Chains A and B, each alone.
Chain A
């Protein structure tokens, strides 16, 4: 029997210990392996965490999840306000620059006019 076939049989046997799908000629050779798989199953029954632990961890996780969400929302709000203030400052600077340039041009034009007159 190929190693991969054997691995498949043993893998399936770990979940459903019946020999129905195993070829009869292979059954005897596989017997010690099947027994080993059964022994592992018997040695590792599912275990349960204590209800007190589950409850207290659940409470703590919900509390931390709430804090985390509140913190993220605060951060997003701060970023949004920061971005808004940044935008207002940039718009004001551009407007200021435009006004400055226009005033300078007007000032130059007035100087030119007065020298011509």
Chain B
């Protein structure tokens, strides 16, 4: 049977291997989240490493108290991503790397180009949203988290998360409409 996070955290205070197991359990999730927050592999790797180093540093003082280890890691990752955005606010970050996955598609080149353009437009629109809106969309669509988990990570009520998700979609739709208007204006 798989050892629970709580037991592993307790064991990690005495046994380095236990922290290694926790790391393997969450590294993909944290990386995924950070990748979509920063938009490139290099910074996502850097922030993933910093998330786990920070968690390790404070493992001695960590107590569950209704906040699972996964949520705790996401909170650290969220804070690091917010700081990263604050420090990089002067530069536009264009996430292109994720489009590489399209190469594996079996569809024709025309369709691929359209799909690629479609994803780039949407991704740019998402990147123009506020940090909270981006976060709720990533946690729901990439991490497939439920209301309760998102609420714990973001430090909000479940109702507030629902409203935030709705507002994020409205804002995204506005962004896309604006983009289409601008594009029509150009042509």
Tell yes or no: B163 within 8 A of A by CB: yes
Which of B19-27, B76-84, B179-187 has 4 or more CB atoms under 8 Å from chain A? B19-27
Q: A39-B118, A57-B27, A61-B52 are in contact. Are A7 and B166 (CB under 8 A)?
A: yes
Contacts from B to A (Cβ < 8 Å):
12-17, 19-20, 23-24, 27-28, 31-32, 35-36, 41, 44-45, 48-49, 52-53, 56-57, 59-60, 98, 101, 115, 118-119, 122-123, 126, 137-138, 140-142, 144, 147, 159, 162-163, 165-166, 169, 172-173, 176
Beyond A33-B169, A47-B101, 7 additional contacts (C-beta under 8 Å) are A4-B163, A11-B165, A53-B45, A53-B48, A57-B52, A58-B27, A63-B16
Q: Name the CB-closest residue of A to B27.
A: A54
- Interface of chain B, helix or strand or loop or mixed? helix
Tell yes or no: A20 within 8 A of B by CB: no
Q: Are B56 and A8 in contact (CB under 8 A)?
A: no
Q: Are B36 and A8 in contact (CB under 8 A)?
A: no
With both chains docked as a complex, state the minimum distance between the C-beta of B62 and any C-beta of chain A, in angstroms: 13
- Interface of chain A, helix or strand or loop or mixed? helix
Q: Are B52 and A10 in contact (CB under 8 A)?
A: no
Q: Are B31 and A49 in contact (CB under 8 A)?
A: yes
Q: Are A62 and B48 in contact (CB under 8 A)?
A: no
Contacts from A to B (Cβ < 8 Å):
3-4, 6-8, 10-11, 14-15, 32-33, 36-37, 39-50, 53-54, 57-58, 60-66, 68-69, 72
Contacts of B24 in A (CB 8 A): 54, 58
Q: Name the CB-closest residue of A to B122.
A: A43
Contacts of B48 in A (CB 8 A): 49, 53, 57
Contacts of A7 in B (CB 8 A): 162-163, 165-166
Q: Are A68 and B28 in contact (CB under 8 A)?
A: no
Q: A7-B162, A39-B118, A47-B98 are in contact. Are A62 and B16 (CB under 8 A)?
A: yes
